Chains A and B, each alone.
Chain A
Amino acid sequence: MIGRRSAQSRVAEVRQAARAWRKAGVIDAATLTAIEAAYPDERVRLATAWKVLIFVVVSVAVNAVFAGFVMTTNTGEGGGAWLVFAAIFAGTTEALLASRRIGENGSAAATSFWAAVYAIVGAATAHFAGTSLDTERAVTVALLVATVAFAAACWRWGFELYGVFAAIAFFFLLARFPGGRLWWVLAGVLLILAAVRGLDRAALPPPLRRACGGVLVVASLAVYAALNRYALDRRLIELVENESAATRSEPWLAIPALSTVATAVIPLLFIAWGLRERRMLLLDLGVILGALSLVTLRFYVHLAPLWFLLAAAGAVLTLAALGLNRRLRRAPGAERAGFTARPLYSGRSAPGLRTAAVVAAFAPDAAPRPEDGGFTPGGGRFGGGGASGSF
């Protein structure tokens, strides 16, 4: 990662922690000022909304420049123009990040993103001449370039999301080859072990540590998908395989019973690992994978009507959360085995996001206007995002 940016990201980490301490009331305003003076941030850092806005506007600008260039010079085919512009955007990213006052405002994020995308499209287009064989090859090349480009962009410029993109492209690339399911398990396990080590490695700057977290999530999901019973029965990974291969390979793990056991055990392993290491990322993964395993179980075994399962699962989750909260709060020092229900000093709580989540999931459908034809019998509906009742 660019040296100065790496150093500044460490400073930003400390300043962010200090603001969370202030918010939690552990330090006063004077102490916060002293900490910020001890860790001065040379870069202008903006609120997320502003960065998103600048990302959008810069994206429109760079793509319009490319479109104008192609329309003027008629050089859209063959991939050359895409690759040239990928290089230009990469150079622009370097220049923007070198500027203390501009680089963190979303513009470098946009140019770096489009540099990677243009490299992918350029490489794929260069390998495509219209036949189905070319299409298959172009897809494989695109995934290969996506893996390399996003990984390099993550490493060089420190945008952690690119680590996630690179990992996703990497697993889809593996699925293109025979035995993809086996590769997913092997590569997934290796990546999980490597990413866990990187999560709190002091030598890595904070953005790359967070990228390790993203890679850990992707690799864990890949291993689970490779071993999940439903994904095995439906040959989901084999669907991605290169169609030009002489025959589609049979799934590596062709023992359904073993897959069933893996579907049940993997979430428990992650939960146990998370509890032992006190890592919320692993615990969260375990809970999410557990939910996916329950959905898989429901697909094969009809335990009860869907409404009952949903309501019961909701009630169990609610009661479990209430019980856990009570147990932690009533423990000595409001903590048990290194866990607490107190918010601590992470600054992870975001009431604005909670409100947005409620709007996204529960906002009711609009009532039809009278021009629609007046009263429609049987038309009551409340709730969104699946949380609805239609009668």
Chain B
Amino acid sequence: MPAHGHASRAGPEPMNPDVVDAIGNLREKRVLSDEQATPLLRAARGELVSVELELRALLYAGVLLVTTGVGLFLEENHERIGPAVIASLIGAAAAACLVYAWRRLPPFTWQAATSPHLAADYVLLLGVLLFAADLAYLETQFRILGPDWPYHLLLVSLMALAAAYRFDSRAVLSLALTSFAAWRGVAVSVSFATSHAAQAPAVRANALVCGALFTAAGILSARSRRKAHFEPVFVTLGLVLVFAGLLSGVFQDGRSSWVAWEIPLWIVAAAVIAIAYRLRRVVEFTLAVLAAYLGLLRLLADAMEGTAMVFVVAATSLAVVVLLVAVQRRMKETA
């Protein structure tokens, strides 16, 4: 088969020479059996290569292009073709995607379900996005919700949440959470603190509430052992929102009101650092340290000025590095 059909690659320089050498050594020492070593050697030599990542990238790009094309189509043609036809077409496409996913993905389980099908998760994502686009289009054309039109984002969020749990998709879950945050006026993808200064307090409050809600949902998932593997999505997104909300308070304009936000920032950061340290959770730990560090810099920038401030920032940063190195040794995180 292919392994011996490509002598050009099986030459003196294998794809990963260190691993090839190591496999030979480990086989000699009987750490690896011949049955184990043979397939590993083929991969390390480059005689067999995986295109799995490339297929995923193609599917991701495909979904991105289709949804972008559909968005442009709606924008350019909705008056010419008519809303009923357009909504029906998109609805049918969304339904087709969801039916495809239903047939290909494993049945519901509270545990992680390994999908044997590479594309089904992406087709599911496309289906949910088309559903969302259709809903937004219907709302715009028929004004079903009127002034409460943002509620269609809540509907999208609930639908995506249901799909995420049914089909065990972390990608769709993240879509559900970002849609929920968008319903509350919080865009996860951009800074909300600088765009509309007048609405910043309300948006900040919503970010904090959404963040707390997501974090609580993550903890609940882990504790109840129901979709426990969703917990990192819930908690990471939740903490991003919480810290972004707190930091938007710390970095807001104005001479005095920002100081009040330092205290909750430090309390939350300290709590997250302590818990993340105990649980050996690197991402959450670094998020909290970074947030606390930024809060500290704001404090120093306000309390001092000139050369003294610069040197204190340098000294403080070095102290933080020393602290991190000490903590790192204790956490013993490996790459």
Given contacts A305-B76, A363-B189, 16 further A-B pairs with CB under 8 A are A46-B335, A50-B333, A53-B324, A64-B311, A105-B324, A306-B72, A311-B69, A313-B69, A337-B2, A339-B51, A346-B50, A364-B179, A366-B181, A380-B140, A389-B71, A389-B133
In the complex, what residue of chain B is closest to A274 when comparing beta carbons? B49
1/0 contact string of A374-391 vs chain B (CB within 8 Å): 110111111111111111
Instruction: Mark the stretch among B59-67, B215-223, B255-263 that contacts chain A.
Output: B59-67
Residues of A within 8 A of B125 (CB): 358, 362
B185→A17 contact, CB < 8 A: no
Instruction: Mark the stretch among A34-42, A116-124, A219-227, A231-239 that contacts chain B.
Output: A34-42
Task: Judge if B328 is at the interface, Cβ distance under 8 Å.
Answer: yes
Min CB–CB distance B251 → chain A (angstroms): 16
Other-chain residue from A38, A52, A382 in contact with B26 (beta carbon distance below 8 A): A38
Assembly CA distance A23 to B51 (angstroms): 18
B69→A341 contact, CB < 8 A: no
Min CB–CB distance A3 → chain B (angstroms): 15
A338→B49 contact, CB < 8 A: yes
Among B132-175, those with CB < 8 Å from A are 132-133, 135-137, 139-141, 143, 146-147, 149-150, 152-153, 156, 170-171, 173-175
9 A-B pairs with least C-beta separation: A311-B69, A314-B65, A367-B150, A310-B69, A314-B66, A389-B71, A318-B62, A61-B317, A307-B72
Residues of B within 8 A of A130 (CB): none
Assembly CA distance A357 to B170 (angstroms): 12
Task: Judge if B188 is at the interface, Cβ distance under 8 Å.
Answer: yes
In the complex, what residue of chain A is closest to B151 when comparing beta carbons? A367
Residues of B within 8 A of A65 (CB): 311, 314
Residues of B within 8 A of A354 (CB): 56, 60, 170-171
Query: With A200-B16, A355-B174 known to touch, is A391 a contact of B47 (CB < 8 Å)?
Result: no
B69→A355 contact, CB < 8 A: no
Residues of B within 8 A of A366 (CB): 181-182, 184-187, 192, 203
Query: With A49-B286, A363-B182 known to touch, is A341 a contact of B46 (CB < 8 Å)?
Result: no
Interface residues of B (CB under 8 A from A): 1-3, 5-6, 8-9, 13-19, 21-22, 25-26, 29, 31-32, 36, 39-40, 43-44, 46-56, 58-78, 118-119, 122-123, 125-126, 129, 132-133, 135-137, 139-141, 143, 146-147, 149-150, 152-153, 156, 170-171, 173-175, 178-179, 181-189, 192, 196, 198-199, 202-203, 232-233, 237, 282-283, 285-286, 289-290, 293, 297, 306-307, 310-311, 313-314, 317-318, 320-321, 324-325, 328-329, 332-335
A346→B70 contact, CB < 8 A: no
Q: Is the interface of A mostly helix, strand, loop or mixed?
A: helix
Task: Judge if A71 is at the interface, Cβ distance under 8 Å.
Answer: yes
In the complex, what residue of chain B is closest to A33 when comparing beta carbons? B31
B321→A58 contact, CB < 8 A: yes
Task: Judge if A31 is at the interface, Cβ distance under 8 Å.
Answer: yes
B68→A386 contact, CB < 8 A: yes
19 contacts across the A-B interface (CB closer than 8 A): A67-B310, A280-B49, A287-B54, A310-B72, A311-B66, A314-B62, A316-B62, A321-B55, A321-B59, A321-B119, A324-B55, A348-B52, A352-B232, A358-B125, A365-B187, A386-B64, A389-B74, A389-B75, A391-B75
Assembly CA distance A359 to B196 (angstroms): 22
Query: With A314-B65, A315-B66 known to touch, is A389 a contact of B55 (CB < 8 Å)?
Result: no
Task: Judge if A14 is at the interface, Cβ distance under 8 Å.
Answer: yes
B335→A278 contact, CB < 8 A: no
Assembly CA distance A351 to B47 (angstroms): 26
Other-chain residue from B77, B283, B307 in contact with A68 (beta carbon distance below 8 A): B307
Min CB–CB distance A390 → chain B (angstroms): 6
A200→B15 contact, CB < 8 A: yes
Assembly CA distance A198 to B123 (angstroms): 39
In the complex, what residue of chain B is closest to A30 when comparing beta carbons? B31
Other-chain residue from A57, A202, A310, A343 in contact with B66 (beta carbon distance below 8 A): A310
Other-chain residue from A14, A105, A320, A348 in contact with B58 (beta carbon distance below 8 A): A320
> How extensive is the interface on chain A, given as a class?
35 or more
In the complex, what residue of chain B is closest to A48 when comparing beta carbons? B335
Other-chain residue from A16, A34, A60, A102 in contact with B317 (beta carbon distance below 8 A): A60
B51→A379 contact, CB < 8 A: no
A46→B129 contact, CB < 8 A: no
In the complex, what residue of chain B is closest to A47 when comparing beta carbons? B282
Residues of B within 8 A of A107 (CB): 321, 325
Assembly CA distance A113 to B310 (angstroms): 21
Query: With A311-B73, A357-B60 known to touch, is A340 a contact of B51 (CB < 8 Å)?
Result: yes
Residues of B within 8 A of A391 (CB): 74-75, 78, 136-137, 140-141
B50→A340 contact, CB < 8 A: yes
Assembly CA distance A276 to B7 (angstroms): 11
Residues of A within 8 A of B119 (CB): 318, 321-322, 325
Assembly CA distance A60 to B300 (angstroms): 13
Min CB–CB distance A240 → chain B (angstroms): 30
Assembly CA distance A35 to B29 (angstroms): 10
Residues of A within 8 A of B69 (CB): 306-314
B31→A367 contact, CB < 8 A: no
Residues of A within 8 A of B188 (CB): 359, 363
A387→B32 contact, CB < 8 A: no
Residues of A within 8 A of B150 (CB): 367-368
B76→A372 contact, CB < 8 A: no
Assembly CA distance A332 to B136 (angstroms): 46
In the complex, what residue of chain A is closest to B146 when comparing beta carbons? A375
Min CB–CB distance B250 → chain A (angstroms): 16
In the complex, what residue of chain B is closest to A36 when comparing beta carbons? B334
Task: Judge if A302 is at the interface, Cβ distance under 8 Å.
Answer: no
Residues of A within 8 A of B16 (CB): 13, 17, 200
Min CB–CB distance B319 → chain A (angstroms): 9
